[in-house]
Amino acid sequence: MRAKKSLGQHFLKSERAISKIVEAGDLVPDDAVLEIGPGEGVLTEKLLAVGCKVIAVEKDDALFEFLKEKFYKEIKAGKLELVHDDILNFKLKIEHYKLIANIPYNITGAILKKFLGAKNQPKTMALLVQKEVAKRIIRRPLGGSASKWGKESILSISVKAYGTPRYVETVKAGSFVPMPKIDSAIIAIENISKQFFQGFREDDFFKTLKTGFKSKRKKLSSNLSTIFGKNKIREVFQKLNLDDNLRAEDVGIETWGKLVSALSS
């Protein structure tokens, strides 16, 4: 099959990478798995081999017909549900599932937002994404050096509000056909829930987060004072013993939670 540039298709050929994605999903037989963009079905085959019940959503017309023929027996046996749809429009009807996918680069952010923020969240996500995006999501893991991973971002904090991201492995560009210009990486997002939002509203958290990152050159206190007022910010920073010179990118997820909780009270 020929990949379509318009859909961001790059078919994964590396057996090691495919196995590592499945391993990162911590899958066991009878797990329900949502696969996004199965492509030629190489990852689908591995998921079925584990004994998972797979729901594979494919947007491409030609690939859908190809997969329908390739997995005729599995579909008939009820092991695979093949859906012809755009994942961003697709409404999942089951609960207690894991999301495993080689995600098109151009919709990575939209997929993360849709499924992490959903009422029916996946238990775990194992994703193959652009390497730079993976590093932006992980940013500074526990014990990781700032020089290697950089500072926090809206993306990294947004993901960490819902779960624990983990960098699994780099996947070189040569592992794909056609070969992309950049490397990819496998990440896992584990312990997904909305427990972080106890004590304040989800919407309030993201409004505060976006305001804090609004102007990267400005101090966090200056950015936040645009909606909360200087006196309120000064009071909260003193209460939490925060340095007035902090910038949003220097603040970890735990401190963001304390900030929003204090500002919402």
Q: Where residue 219 sits, what CATH number does that domain have?
A: 1.10.8.100
Question: CA 173 to CA 119: how far, in whole Å?
Answer: 35
What is the per-residue pLDDT for 106? 87
| List of residues 6+ apart from 32 with CB closer than 8 A | 52, 53, 55, 94, 96, 97, 98
Whether this prediction's pTM lies above 0.75 is answered by: yes
Specify whether 185 is located in the same domain as 237.
no
- Token representation of residue 263: 């500002």
Question: CA 155 to CA 187: how far, in whole Å?
Answer: 14
Inform me whether the pLDDT recorded for 100 exceeds 80.
yes
Write down which residue in 171, 193, 215 finishes a domain.
193
Write down which residue in 166, 193, 220 finishes a domain.
193
Specify whether 25 is located in the same domain as 130.
yes
- Tally of structural domains, the chain: 2
Strand bridging mode 125-130 / 184-190: antiparallel
What is the per-residue pLDDT for 56? 98
What is the per-residue pLDDT for 236? 97
Specify whether 119 is located in the same domain as 26.
yes
For the segment 150-200, what is each residue's pLDDT rounded down to a tens digit?
689 999 999 999 999 999 999 999 888 878 889 999 999 999 999 999 989
User: What is the share, in percent, of the chain residues with pLDDT greater than 90?
Assistant: 82
Specify whether 188 is located in the same domain as 242.
no
Specify whether 34 is located in the same domain as 99.
yes
What is the per-residue pLDDT for 13? 85
- Quote the radius of gyration of the chain (alpha carbons, Å): 20
Q: What letter represents residue 17's amino acid? A: A
Specify whether 120 is located in the same domain as 243.
no
* Cβ-based neighbour number of residue 152 at 10 Å: 22
- Token representation of residue 34: 């949502």
What is the mean pLDDT of the segment spanning 26-36? Answer: 97
Element (H, E) at 49: helix 42-50
Residue 232 domain boundaries:
202-264
User: Per-residue confidence at 250, pLDDT binned at 50, 70, 90?
Assistant: very high
Which residues, listed in sequence order, are joined to residue 55 by a DSSP beta bridge? 34, 81
Question: CA 212 to CA 256: how far, in whole Å?
Answer: 10
Write down which residue in 151, 171, 193 finishes a domain.
193
- Residue 162 DSSP code: T
Specify whether 180 is located in the same domain as 74.
yes
Specify whether 251 is located in the same domain as 187.
no
The residue assigned the tokens 């993976």 is 134
Element (H, E) at 181: none
The residue assigned the tokens 């990440």 is 187
Question: CA 139 to CA 182: how far, in whole Å?
Answer: 19
The residue assigned the tokens 């992309």 is 180
Inform me whether the pLDDT recorded for 118 exceeds 90.
yes
Question: CA 244 to CA 238: how far, in whole Å?
Answer: 9
User: Per-residue confidence at 149, pLDDT binned at 50, 70, 90?
Assistant: low
Specify whether 211 is located in the same domain as 178.
no
